[in-house]
Amino acid sequence: MTYVSHLNGLIRDAIATADNPVVFGQNVAAGSCLSGLTRGIDHTAAQVINTPNLENTLVGTGFGLMLSRVQAAFFMKQQDFLLLGVDHLVNTYNLVRRQDTGAGSFTIVQIVVDSGFEGPQSALNNLPDLCSLARVEGYAIANAHDADTVVGNELFAPGFRIISVSQRLFKRDMPGWESSIEPAAPNAVSRYAFGDDLTIVALNFAFEQAVNLYRAAQGYDLSASLFASNSLSEVDWQAVTADAARTGRLVILDDTKSVRSPGHILALEARAAGVTDVIHHRRSLDEALLRPQADRFEIDCAATLAALGLLSRPRISLLSA
Amino acid sequence: MHEDRLTALAERVLAVRLGQMVINERNKAGAFRVPIHLALGHEAIAVAVSDAMKTGDQLLLTHRNVHYNLARNPSLAEKLREFALDPTGGASGQLGCMNYSDAGAGIPYTSSILANSLSVAPGIALGQAILGRRVATFVVTGDGAIEEGAFYESLLMGRSVAASMVVVVENNGWSLATQIHERRTPIDLEQMANALDIPFQRLRGNDPLDYAEHLAALRDEAIEARTPALLEVCVNTLGDWIQETPERPEGKLINYHAGIAPTVELEKGPLLAEDIGDPVYVLMQRFSTEDLAELAARAMASLGEVSQ
């Protein structure tokens, strides 16, 4: 099943079990229905509203619905548009969050246009920055586990959060995992595998790259611990730093363009825990990102393992690729 | 009946005026650390909006909200304690003045950010409709906030989702220290309303009965037609003064925006200007001096006990 079909099924299921929710946004029930994300919503189970293009007011309206104790989800074509509603993410939320809104709920589901070739605009993927402004709960859906735990549990849960989905992944098979994942909860760092030679952590939508590195390590007869966090907000990294202290090596794969992503905090905490070999693969803002290009987050797995001294090459204490 | 209603409204106008004057005196005495934005001169519209509101109606406000809060809930002591950030204040000392809301009085949300409340209002109105309530959501803004995109957005959103809203624009001609003509081209709100096919009213003159009747009709229309309605009301924000400086020995007009109104003194009584820009002056044309004094005494009593 494709990434978008999997999400669409979860969204429709969540709507069916919610209490008369409101689902709104531009083209949520028209045209391609956001490339299939909101296709087939049961109009008898929800108030479905195709709205005008009013991002600031649409975010404010979501909070107004939440204040009225209604369950609401705003589906937004692309994260860049959310910049128009930042006042509400901060100022409105700071008033609403201190009130008892009962079962009132507001979720923004936004598509990150990370499919490339958009040019200098329309490629924002810095949700951690937006979440940081007012300590908003934020999630990225990078695989089936994220989708099931976040959409299944959070879409109409009381309170406010932002859920981020990747356009690059829409038509591809939903990334899965063959083994058990613990813990199976939103807003948690989940362990996908236990290994002895290095610790790998995926952030935002970098799960694919993390799995590639994990498989590459296996190819060199190495075993890796694999973690992923679907949270873009505050994260308890204790499980990861403890594992990295044991393996002695940590690789953070972080495809956001933020300079203050959770990965930076993890790197600091790992070093404080005595992990000296920390590689933080991340994006840098260079000229290439400001013109049409593939916008891909690419990792040289062999070079990464070599830099950690795992391929009988000199070890480097800190490398930022 | 007509006279009784006018008398009741007049008493409430005086209560809102006197309540603000007490707040001003406390502010002069240094009782508050939070910024206070008085709305002297805005009392008639606040009383009329409150009068038009029926059970379940909601009211969203701005940083200049004290007149509406007093009109909806005359307990002055609660406000004084709130502005002093006392835990026994009307909002447990957690909101201060610029965000003072009072859900029990139908005021669920007050924002100090220009035009912010406008975007929240369609959501409140839509939420009430989804819950099956046949009510209106009032949202107050000013002539400065209508310059923000959120003003247009909220009207368009409200019209598009059939939200029963009454948008009240208090036009005092000022935004901070600039008058409209100093900062922008005029905006004809009636034409804007026509463009969006929403009802429009413009009020001036500070007659509380006239205002209340128009507000009630506009509220009913908003509910019946499931539409936003737009009301522009001309107000004079009183409390200005002349400041003499070495550069301007002849004196410079300081428009009241926030803080202390230094020339407003409670002991001189509620009248601040002898023209229809002052709602109290308008009442003086309707009532004898004796009757108005009696109304003022009752208004003061309606504000409740206020500790010294």
Asked whether residue A318 carries a pLDDT value surpassing 70, the answer given is no
pLDDT of residue A232: 85
* Helix residue ranges per DSSP H, chain B: 2-28, 43-52, 66-72, 76-83, 116-130, 149-160, 180-183, 189-196, 208-225, 279-284, 289-302
Model ipTM? 0.94
| Residue A186: band (very low, low, confident or very high) from pLDDT cuts 50, 70, 90 | low
pLDDT of residue B173: 87
Give B179-194 pLDDT, tens digit per residue: 888 889 999 999 999 9
B174-175 vs B178-179, strand pairing mode: antiparallel
pLDDT of residue A80: 94
Q: Classify domain A3-169 at the CATH topology level.
A: Rossmann fold (3.40.50)
| A134 interfacial to chain B (CB closer than 8 Å) | no
Give A223-259 pLDDT, tens digit per residue: 999 999 988 888 899 999 999 999 999 999 999 988 8
Mean pLDDT (whole number) for B237-251: 87
- Gap between the Cα atoms of A137 and A211, Å rounded: 25
The whole-chain average pLDDT of chain B stands at: 96
Give this prediction's pTM. 0.94
Q: Where are the domains of chain A?
A: 3-169, 189-319
Which residues of chain B have a CB within 8 Å of the CB of A99?
103, 108
Q: How many CB atoms lie within 10 A of CB B160?
A: 16
Give B207-224 pLDDT, tens digit per residue: 999 999 999 999 999 999
Give A130-177 pLDDT, tens digit per residue: 999 999 999 999 999 999 999 989 999 999 999 999 999 999 999 999
Mean pLDDT (whole number) for B272-281: 97
Q: How many CB atoms lie within 10 A of CB B120?
A: 31
pLDDT of residue A184: 66
| Residue B308: band (very low, low, confident or very high) from pLDDT cuts 50, 70, 90 | low
Give A295-305 pLDDT, tens digit per residue: 889 999 999 99
Q: Is A189-319 the same fold as A3-169?
A: yes
| A54 interfacial to chain B (CB closer than 8 Å) | yes
Asked whether residue A314 carries a pLDDT value surpassing 60, the answer given is no
User: How close B124 gets to chain A, by Cα (Å)?
Assistant: 4
Give B45-71 pLDDT, tens digit per residue: 999 999 999 999 999 999 999 999 999
| Residue that is written with structure tokens 């000392």 in the block | B93
- Gap between the Cα atoms of A72 and A91, Å rounded: 19
Which residues of chain B have a CB within 8 Å of the CB of A66?
123
Of B111, B118, B121, the CB nearest to A95: B111
| Residue that is written with structure tokens 């429709």 in the block | A12
What domains sit in chain B, N to C, each tagged with a CATH number?
2-302 (3.40.50.970)
CATH architecture of A189-319: 3-Layer(aba) Sandwich (3.40)
Interface test with B, best of A93, A95, A107, A108 (most B CBs within 10 A): A95
Three-class DSSP category at A134 = helix
- Helices B43-52 and B2-28 pack at an angle, to 10 degrees, of 130
Mean pLDDT (whole number) for A60-88: 97
What is the percentage of chain B residues whose pLDDT exceeds 90? 89
CB B92 within 8 A of CB B84: no
